[in-house]
Structure 1
Amino acid sequence: MKIVLLAVLGLILGALGGAAVGVGVGLAWVEIFKTSDFEGYGGMLVFFTFMPLGAMIGGLGGAFVFGVLALRDSEIAIEREQMHSRDNGAC
């Protein structure tokens, strides 16, 4: 269950981060390639193309990374054995 929850968390965080990166890349694309702003074409290109692509790629990547980390976490012992104090009878 922990693996699934971390994968969903990775999906959400990755989608948010990917959308932000997508907007940045889209704005850079519009500026570098001098995309026309006629009737808001530049804004539509950024928010209907680059942002969804960034969100999809970021979401899938985040879910994969968090899922792999959670899967490896179950293989590695997180809880260390507590050291048992030897009771010698001395106070």
Structure 2
Amino acid sequence: MKIALLALLGLALGALGGAALGIGAGLIWVEIFKTTSFEGYSGMLVFFTFMPLGAVIGGIGGALLFGIIAIRDAEIAIEREPVRRHDR
């Protein structure tokens, strides 16, 4: 259950961060390639193309990252038996 909840948290945080990075990337794209602003074309490009792509990529990446961290934490949390020394 812990792994699933952390994966959902990673999905949400990754989607938010990815959307923000997507907006930034879109604004950079508009400035570098001098996209026209006629009837709001550049704004629609940023918010209907770059932001959703960033959110999807960030959400998947965040979910995978948090899921892997949770799985590794579950593996580490297992108690190990102490090493027994053999007296000679």
Shorter-chain TM-score tier: 0.7 to 0.9
Aligned to 1:86: none
What is the number of residues matched between the two proteins?
79
> TM-score, normalization: structure 1?
0.84
For 1:13 and 1:4, the matched residues in 2 are separated by 14
For 1:26 and 1:78, the matched residues in 2 are separated by 45
Aligned to 1:12: 12
How far residue 78 of structure 1 moved from its aligned partner, in angstroms, is: 7.4
How far residue 71 of structure 1 moved from its aligned partner, in angstroms, is: 0.4
CA RMSD in angstroms comes to 1.2
- Whichever residue aligns with residue 74 of structure 2, its letter is S
* Moved >4 Å (runs of 4+): none
For 1:77 and 1:7, the matched residues in 2 are separated by 18
Are residue 26 (structure 1) and residue 62 (structure 2) matched? no
Q: Which has the larger radius of gyration?
A: 1
Q: 1:78 to 1:43 in 2, by over 3 A?
A: farther
- Whichever residue aligns with residue 25 of structure 1, its letter is A
Specify every segment of 5 or more residues in structure 1 that has no aligned partner in the other structure, as ranges: 80-91
Query: What percentage of aligned pairs have identical amino acids?
Result: 77
Aligned to 1:67: 67
Are residue 38 (structure 1) and residue 38 (structure 2) matched? yes
For 1:53 and 1:28, the matched residues in 2 are separated by 15
How far residue 77 of structure 1 moved from its aligned partner, in angstroms, is: 2.0
